[in-house]
Amino acid sequence: MPYDICENSIFLKQRQKSDLNEQFQELATALNSNYSQNGIDACIYLSGSLARQEASALISSNGQATLYSDIDLVIIPTKSYEDHEIVVNTARWLCDMFPAIKSTAQIIPFNTVTYAESAFARDIALKQDFPLYSTLSPIYLGSKRVNKRDCFEAIIHQISGYILNWERLIRTNNKSDIFRGDLQYHYIKLVLECLRSQFFNDGDFVTGYFDVYHQRYDPRLTSLIKPEEIEQFIKSRELFGYVEAPQLDIIPFIQKSLTRLIGLPVSEFSHIHEIYSAHTKLKEISKDVIHCYPLVMSLVIFGLDKPLKDRLELSNLATNIIEEMDKANIGTTLKEELKELCELFKSNNELIMERIFNCLRSFQKEYLNHLADRNSGVTSQQSSLGLTV
């Protein structure tokens, strides 16, 4: 066992931690055997909560713990194995072998991994000395930090999954979905990510939810939520199905969480003109998809509970961002959907939100593709070679 996946889990009992580590060891061994028996030249690392050693469990009525954290894998193959069937189908294979788990796998070309960035790179760096499988020379990313941009993107990612996909989350438990099928678990993760993302300064050193617990009396958090509620959210994530999470008025909470990240004090989370002004400044930074989608989604969130006049003011700015966006690297279908989205934003019809969400989902999918390339280092590596991206 390379390390204890529950070392930073706060509320799991020792026996439950042992059970989760045994379950993880079994699947890690199976994964290693599958790759070694097929002679795959690659490294496999963990990312996400297991890389941060804060596993969560699904707790049965008799207290038995089943690993509930996603098995988020980062696979770094040599070029000849990038399209190998074993590599491409790793997450599906793992879920077939262990039906109780959920897994994702991101494949990063070997020659781009040193360019990796954001929280994605930070999580890999945490366990760069402990690959689950490796036939390659050690890969060292150094110490990776996150900044305000990364935190803003992290919140937008969780918000998008919760707001745009809530009906699908209720209807399906498809493991191939981008977002977990359990709406309640996603709600908990959304809240915790909003809290964790308040720590974006160089000296914060907040990595996981366990750090949020230890910082629960910090004014940046108490301006959003009570310390005892923070404790309850962390406990409900770790002991999922056994401990209930507090029920927040989620839209104002999300708005408050975003406010500092767009450069305003939390007290101004409902001040429409300040919100408009902050987004206007931010939109001048870049015109690419990665920058524009979070801004548009943020404006949608700030407008959700506003009077029609204010919502239209924010929608007009969102339209302006989309119209000015660099669309050179997006497909014709999405261009048409973005055109429709702009028309919907300009409408004063309050009964079209689902159509707006449909267009935003397409926008989100394109954004995630661009984000994956940037975070995995593909975009930066191409730029360093003078290639068009």
Q: How many residues does the chain have?
A: 389
d(CA 325, CA 349): 25
Answer whether residue 172 is part of any domain.
yes
Residue-level pLDDT at 279: 96
Residue-level pLDDT at 166: 53
- Of 106, 134, 162, which closes a domain? 134
Is there a single domain that holds both residue 251 and residue 188?
Answer: yes
Residue-level pLDDT at 167: 54
pLDDT along the chain (389 residues), means of 10: 88 96 97 97 94 95 91 94 96 96 91 81 84 87 80 92 64 44 85 96 88 97 98 97 94 96 95 96 94 96 91 93 90 90 80 82 92 80 41
Is there a single domain that holds both residue 217 and residue 68?
Answer: no
Residue pLDDT, tens place only, 296-312: 999 999 998 999 899 99
| Burial class of residue 382 in the structure, from the number of CB atoms within 10 Å of its CB (0-12 exposed, 13-18 middle, 19+ buried) | middle
Say if residues 51 and 30 touch (Cβ distance below 8 Å): no
Answer whether residue 218 is part of any domain.
yes
Answer whether residue 25 is part of any domain.
yes
Answer whether residue 41 is part of any domain.
yes
Residue-level pLDDT at 385: 38
Is there a single domain that holds both residue 65 and residue 91?
Answer: yes
Answer whether residue 219 is part of any domain.
yes
Say if residues 33 and 160 touch (Cβ distance below 8 Å): no
Residue pLDDT, tens place only, 340-353: 999 988 876 666 77
d(CA 67, CA 12): 11
Q: Which residue has the tokens 């494949």?
A: 107
Say if residues 124 and 74 touch (Cβ distance below 8 Å): yes
Is there a single domain that holds both residue 374 and residue 225?
Answer: yes
Is there a single domain that holds both residue 122 and residue 34?
Answer: yes
Answer whether residue 1 is part of any domain.
no
- Of 82, 104, 134, which closes a domain? 134
Is there a single domain that holds both residue 218 and residue 126?
Answer: no
Is there a single domain that holds both residue 82 and residue 111?
Answer: yes
Is there a single domain that holds both residue 81 and residue 165?
Answer: no
Nearest to 313 by CA among 271, 281, 285, 354: 271
- Of 79, 107, 134, which closes a domain? 134
Residue-level pLDDT at 192: 97
- Please report, to the nearest 10 degrees, the dihedral formed by the alpha carbons of residues 244, 245, 246, 248 taken in order: -140
Contacts of 320 (CB under 8 A, 6+ apart): 283
Angle at 361 between CA 268 and CA 188, to 5 degrees: 60
What is the span of the domain harbouring residue 326? 148-379
Answer whether residue 388 is part of any domain.
no
CB neighbours (10 Å) of residue 241? 16
CA distances for 334 relative to 106, 287, 314, 322, 354, angstroms? 24, 16, 22, 12, 17
d(CA 76, CA 201): 30
Tally of domains in the chain? 2
Burial 137-168 (b: 16+ CB within 10 A, else e): eebebeebbbeebbbbbbbbbbbbbbbbbeeb
Residue-level pLDDT at 123: 81
Say if residues 295 and 321 touch (Cβ distance below 8 Å): yes
Nearest to 291 by CA among 262, 252, 266, 250: 262
Answer whether residue 299 is part of any domain.
yes
d(CA 306, CA 64): 45
